[in-house]
Amino acid sequence: LSVKQFDPDSIARIFAIADQMQPYAHRKKRTRVLDGAILGNLFFEPSTRTRVSFGTAFNLLGGEVRETTGMESSAIAKGESLYDTARVLSSYSDIIAMRHPKAGSVAEFAEGSRVPVINGGDGANEHPTQALLDLYTIKKELEHNKLGIDGMHICMVGDLKYGRTVHSLSKLLSMYSNVRFTLISPRELSMPDDILSMLDSAGHKVHITEHIEGSMDADIVYQTRIQQERFATAEEADQYRGKFRLNNEIYTRHYKPNTVIMHPLPRDSRAEANELDNDLNQNPNLAIFRQADNGVLIRMALFALTLGVEDLLQKYETDVIW
Ligand code: CP
């Protein structure tokens, strides 16, 4: 439900299981370890990566996926509570992944559920599985640059107020040592105070600025989209759109040559927004699609661990037919 449920040891365990998922995710081998199990994939907010990678991860472990998308197609539109919905749907599934626009809603749903519930994003609050896949990506990318998570410098840019991915990632990173944070956003969209306090009490150096200068030695630049769906009006979101763009010219001028470029996606491709330009698409440091690929590995690991089958993967392994 929250990244606060983890610590560096449990994160290392998830990452080790994610590594074991590589041959299955890359279709070199199959495992049927979740044969007969059902995932309830409940998405009450739009999603491409999270929804499809949860489903793909469950399928790759041999399980079946039941999709519910959109509030209007469920009885919640008739006033049914999250608790009642959870009581009912949890008897149809062995595990549930859920996204909902309201902060705290997935935890509320979990109270009524008879099976484990995984948070796929609750409003502006948290996106724990994204943070885990982000951290897994950071670890892999930094290893390539002969660096580690402890002591690294991350630069988070854009809508840090409503961006749940940066909230969850900051909380995860606060569990490591001497991480330097440069937080670049308009003042109105700065990182929430509770997260800043958490970073401060864990002894991390945090630099808050409205200017891209000062990020020169960042190991990671984590760009985010203006979360227009969290603003009262589209006009309010519009005033921030396009303020903190990253393109080839800005990257070359403000970052070191091996700074890893990350973004949880989706990036806003409209010309007036365009926070991460297509002219970086061929840059080898652009890790955004490796990030999305890693989502399947991490979600496979979370399903295996949550359902207690992580040691049975090979027992139910079969050859790939095609
Ligand atoms: N990163 C992410 O949550 O993407 P989706 O909204 O497409 O799931």
Q: Say yes or no: 180 and 103 in one domain.
A: no
Ligand 1 centre from 229 Cα, in Å?
A: 13
Q: How far is residue 273's CA from residue 269's CA, in Å, rounded to a whole number? A: 7
pTM of the model: 0.96
**Contact status, residue 99 vs residue 43, Cβ threshold 8 Å:** yes
Nearest CA to ligand 1 atom 1: 264
What pLDDT score was predicted for residue 120?
A: 98
Query: How far away, in angstroms, is 308 Cα from ligand 1 center?
Result: 26
CATH of the domain at 92: 3.40.50.1370
Judge if 77 and 119 occupy the same domain.
Answer: yes
DSSP assignments along 244-283, one per residue = S-B-HHHHHHHS-TTPEEE--S----STTT-SB-GGGTT-
User: Do residues 244 and 195 make contact, with C-beta atoms less than 8 angstroms apart?
Assistant: no
Atom nearest to 295 CA in ligand 1: 1
Is residue 189 within 8 Å of 175, Cβ to Cβ? no
Cα-Cα-Cα-Cα dihedral of 42, 88, 126, 189, to 10°?
Answer: 80
114 in the same domain as 163? no
Tell me which residue range forms the domain holding 39.
Answer: 3-125+295-318
Supply the pLDDT for residue 214: 63
Same domain? For 49 and 62 the reply is yes
End-to-end CA distance of the chain: 37
- Same domain flag for 152 and 60: no
Query: What's the number of domains the chain is made of?
Result: 2
What residues in the chain have per-residue pLDDT under 70? 214
- Indicate which atom in ligand 1 lies nearest the CA of residue 265: 1
In terms of domains, do 198 and 121 share one? no
The residues that bridge with 260 in the sheet, in sequence order, are 220
- Same domain (yes/no): 139, 245: yes
Which residues, judged by CB distance below 6 Å to any ligand atom, belong to the binding site of ligand 1? Answer: 47-51, 121, 130, 264-266
Assembly ipTM: 0.99
Q: Is the peptide bond before 266 cis (omega within 30 degrees of 0)?
A: yes
Other Cβ atoms less than 10 A from the Cβ of 104: the count is: 14
Residue with the smallest CA separation from ligand 1 atom 6 is: 47
Q: Is 104 left (phi over 0), alpha (psi -120 to 50) or beta?
A: left
- Ligand 1, residues 41, 44, 47: which to mutate, most atoms within 8 A of Cβ? 47
- The Cα 88–Cα 114 span in angstroms is 9
Say if residue 9 is in the same domain as residue 43: yes
Distance (angstroms) between ligand 1 centre and the Cα of 315 equals 33
Same domain, 56 and 159: no
Single-letter amino acid code for the residue at 67: E
73 and 139, same domain (yes or no): no
Q: Which atom of ligand 1 is nearest to the CA of 48?
A: 7
H/E stretch holding 119: strand 117-122
Q: Which of 43, 44, 45, 50 to probe ligand 1 with, by most ligand atoms within 8 A of CB?
A: 50
- Spatial distance between the Cα atoms of 290 and 246, rounded to a whole number of angstroms: 18
Ligand 1 pocket: which of 130, 169, 296, 299 to mutate (most atoms <8 Å of CB)?
Answer: 130
- Residue 61 shares a structural domain with residue 184: no
Exposure on the CB side of residue 82, measured as CA atoms within 13 A: 18
